[in-house]
Structure 1
Amino acid sequence: MQVSPQTPAEKIVWYTLIWTWPLYGLGALYVVGPVLGWTLAAMAGLSLYLGPVIRSDMQATGPVPAVVWVWSAGMLVMLVSLWAGHADWNLGTTKTIKSSIGWAKGWALIPLFILAGAVLPIRRELLVRGQCVLGLWTLCLLPLLAVAPYVGLPHLLFTSPLKAVGGPGPEYFSVYLYTIDPASGTPRWQFFAPWSPFAALLGVCLVLFALEEKHPRWKIIGLAAGVLMILMSKSRMGLVGLVFCSMSPRLLPLVARSLGWVLLSSVTTAVAVWGVAFVEFGNRALYSFKSARADSTRVRETLQRIAYERWQSDAMVFGHGTVRPGAHLVEYMPIGSHHTWYGLLFVKGLTGFTAFLVPLSVHFWVVTLDAIKCERGKLPLGLLLTIVLLTFGENVEIQTYLLWPSLLMLGCHLREVKSVNRGN
């Protein structure tokens, strides 16, 4: 089945998606993501404002879904929390402006991309095929990436001068063939992501998209590329996501039906009989999971503990306004990084924490209910589960520039649900 872009919005999305690797080679992905988000949102706003006056292939597909408004309100509260935190700690006008620009390149992109997917005429199958084409690019480059550390090629090719626009760090503008794990001394691959664990979750997203591909050859390409990204990144979270985020949406309808409840009761009975053995097995599995990268686990847990304690003692309502430098104990990683929830508490306090939790919970509820009823909810539920999983290992706001296909798909799904409900 031939899938090609039909509308201006689809053309922008399609070519940005399939040219991900060349854009990465220029160190431009961190710049392209926010530009794309604000451009698509502007197109969505224009289509809503002009209505039938605008050309037919740019007209809005319907009104803005309620979930998009909830996301928008939450992210605006996030901005207010940022300003309040900066004012509380007297961080100055310059730093406040810089952080506000960071908000526009991070948190703001979540509702903007979901809005674009919900309003603009962008088809689900175009996003699915585009991800598989990106998978083909990955497979073609895989031989070079795989042999690079063993033939003496440098791990870092260059850092783009685009870093002058500002960002979380130079790694977002750098082009890597591979990295060396300091704990084991072995190579890890991060593909077009800033680091390997995030590349693994992008691989999970690729697998989820590929599972919905109708063309057998493209499906195999997408699945192979996604699984290899997960394995070569050597990320524990990626392996968990591969199983959990792909299986849960498919098992959910069974659990919701009577057969599922029978199976669940059987499992509950088995747990009651063999509960102690299950607990011991779970503890051993958790210990093995953490021991696989003990240094990384120690640093992350220490960062989370420090962030939580300083949130409680220093700034419960609006947080500290920004991340703070970490000590040698956490390998100089910033306090408030490596975990969205602890990071929100530390940087934006309970206000920012709630501003993200509420829209995420509402959206998760909508997607889960739809996944129980029909097939169209499986992909968005899997993607939302991946994003939730990402929040426990990364600061999700600084990764939205690569999560945009998933956010667009979440918006497309809201449009599909709303059109069905309107039809009924």
Structure 2
Amino acid sequence: MAAATDPQQTPAERLIARTIGATWLLYAVGGLYIAGPVLGWTLAGMACWRLYAGPALAPELRAPPLGGIVWVWILAMTAMLLALWFGHAANDLSAGQTIKSSIGWAKGWALLAVFPFGAAVLDVRPEIVYRAVCRLGRQTLILIPFFLIAPLAHLPELLYVSPLKVLGGSSDEFFTVMLYTTEPGVGTARWQFFAPWSPAAGMVAVVYILCAIEERDRRWKIVGIVAGVLIALLSASRLALVAIAVVWPLAHIVARLSRPATWWIAAPGVLATGLFAPTVLTFVTQAQADFSGARADSSRVRAALGRIAVTRWRTEAPWFGHGIVERGPHMVEYMPIGSHHSWYGLLFVKGAMGAVALGVPLAYSLIVTGRLALRDPIGRVGLSMLIVLFLYSFGENLEVLGYLFWPALVLIGAAARRGSERRHEA
């Protein structure tokens, strides 16, 4: 297996491995929010050159035809940009605001297309991502004791805000270096590590655990999994714990659906579920109540933000949305309307067109990687990453976190390439 310093790595793989390895350094200087989009567009530029120079390259260096997954994300994120422009025009927003929002699109939604495109064309090996994530896990394990000691030693929560914030971002949170945060109303410490807030750290933890599981070297695997689990636990993210318990088993079940043994094993479970359906339903209902009650104030604010977003979308701007994010009223603590939820946010800002532009490629990719998972391990990995995106689309705004979970997008691109190669070989 190639290690993160393997000289046989391609330039694209070295860029990816070194960027992952430099995560903590980039976070310390406030450059993490910038590095993700820069890397994504750099890989896309390299991929465009590879396609342009394809006829002059050796056959083994030529990229296979772009698969459906890559194309659907490119078209969908282009539609997202068009929805943005239409929304700005419909709401009479200034040209300056439109340019600013277009740059935001390039740093956000566009990454869902450029990373899979770059990874698919440049033939990025998944093993490079797995090992780089585990190496980052080792760094994190070294730093975790310091984070745990910080609140006990009464060190300040906020260390500093990087001056790089002048380069632009939706808020200072993306350039803030935090040791820990204190949970309102409870007083307990909660950690966000190199993410802008704790639930985002939980999402990164899920992606990293799924990568570490695929690592072949047992020592690195253990390091990566332990680091990911600790991040998820210390972030106190409810959704992260659910995702850890659900995503990997679900992806493996899908990957084994073509095996008769899977159906024989599943049959008793299906029968039992039918027999005990009322009990199961009661358990699920109680679990949902406990999930929301774990942070009642947070759940209340999230629900209110969703109701405001849907009401104003339906009554004011159903097709192309309001064009920009707006702050909510006092009842939601002035948080942006539609935040904490990709679908509500899309409906409010980009209308029905924006929601369709995310829903179609996500559904299509889940189906395609699900089929690929029956025949190839990278299909299972791509499927698991897409399930993570689907789950977190209901708890986070995917647009602003693309700079963090981009390794998942690289693996989706690797799965897309493998699917294209299989079709080309057939």
Matches of 2:361 and 2:28, distance apart in 1: 35
How much does 1:269 deviate? 2.9
Corresponding residue number in structure 2 for 1:36: 39
Corresponding residue number in structure 1 for 2:249: 247
How much does 1:182 deviate? 1.0
Corresponding residue number in structure 1 for 2:100: 98
Partner of residue 27 from structure 2, selected from 16, 20, 24? 24
Question: Can you list the C-alpha shifts for 1:117-155, whole angstroms capped at 9, x where unaligned?
Answer: 100132111111011011111101111111111102111
1:44 touches 1:119 (CA, 8 Å); kept in 2? yes
1:47 touches 1:60 (CA, 8 Å); kept in 2? yes
Question: For residues 227 and 29 of structure 1, do their structure 2 counterparts lie closer, same or farther at Cα, with a shift above 3 Å needed?
Answer: same
2:321 touches 2:349 (CA, 8 Å); kept in 1? yes
Matches of 1:77 and 1:46, distance apart in 2: 24
Instruction: Give the 3-state SS of the residue equivalent to 2:396 in structure 1.
Output: coil
1:333 aligns with 2:335: yes
Matches of 1:263 and 1:342, distance apart in 2: 39
1:197 touches 1:238 (CA, 8 Å); kept in 2? yes
Question: For residues 204 and 8 of structure 1, do their structure 2 counterparts lie closer, same or farther at Cα, with a shift above 3 Å needed?
Answer: same
Corresponding residue number in structure 1 for 2:239: 237
Question: Can you list the C-alpha shifts for 1:64-105, whole angstroms capped at 9, x where unaligned?
Answer: 222211111111111111111111111211111111110011
Superposed counterparts of 1:172-251, under 5 Å: 172-251=174-253
Question: Can you list the C-alpha shifts for 1:4-31, whole angstroms capped at 9, x where unaligned?
Answer: 2522111111111111111101110111
Partner of residue 305 from structure 1, selected from 307, 312, 332? 307
Instruction: Give the 3-state SS of the residue equivalent to 1:194 in structure 2.
Output: coil
Partner of residue 168 from structure 1, selected from 125, 148, 170? 170
1:60 touches 1:121 (CA, 8 Å); kept in 2? no
Matches of 2:24 and 2:124, distance apart in 1: 22
1:44 touches 1:60 (CA, 8 Å); kept in 2? no
Instruction: Give the 3-state SS of the residue equivalent to 1:373 in structure 2.
Output: coil
Question: For residues 121 and 262 of structure 1, do their structure 2 counterparts lie closer, same or farther at Cα, with a shift above 3 Å needed?
Answer: closer
Percent identity for Structure 1 against Structure 2: 46
Matches of 1:420 and 1:315, distance apart in 2: 43
Corresponding residue number in structure 2 for 1:348: 350
1:293 aligns with 2:299: no
Task: Name the amino acid aligned to 1:100.
Answer: S
Corresponding residue number in structure 1 for 2:67: 65
1:339 touches 1:393 (CA, 8 Å); kept in 2? yes
Question: Can you list the C-alpha shifts for 1:31-63, whole angstroms capped at 9, x where unaligned?
Answer: 111111111100000111012546999x44323
Q: What TM-score results when the alignment is normalised by the length of structure 1?
A: 0.96
How much does 1:163 deviate? 0.7
Matches of 2:358 and 2:112, distance apart in 1: 10
Corresponding residue number in structure 2 for 1:321: 323
Question: For residues 345 and 356 of structure 1, do their structure 2 counterparts lie closer, same or farther at Cα, with a shift above 3 Å needed?
Answer: same
CA-based RMSD? 1.7
Question: Can you list the C-alpha shifts for 1:292-341, whole angstroms capped at 9, x where unaligned?
Answer: 11111111011111111111111111111111111111111111211001
1:183 touches 1:295 (CA, 8 Å); kept in 2? no
How much does 1:254 deviate? 4.2
Task: Name the amino acid aligned to 2:209.
Answer: V
Matches of 1:274 and 1:395, distance apart in 2: 36
Range with greater deviation from structure 2 (85-94 or 256-265): 256-265
**Count of residue correspondences:** 423
Matches of 1:267 and 1:102, distance apart in 2: 47
Task: Name the amino acid aligned to 1:40.
Answer: L
Mind listing any 5+ residue stretches in structure 1 that lack a counterpart?
Answer: none
Range with greater deviation from structure 2 (249-258 or 43-52): 249-258
Question: For residues 419 and 56 of structure 1, do their structure 2 counterparts lie closer, same or farther at Cα, with a shift above 3 Å needed?
Answer: closer
Matches of 1:162 and 1:10, distance apart in 2: 27
2:51 touches 2:63 (CA, 8 Å); kept in 1? no
Instruction: Give the 3-state SS of the residue equivalent to 2:138 in structure 1.
Output: helix
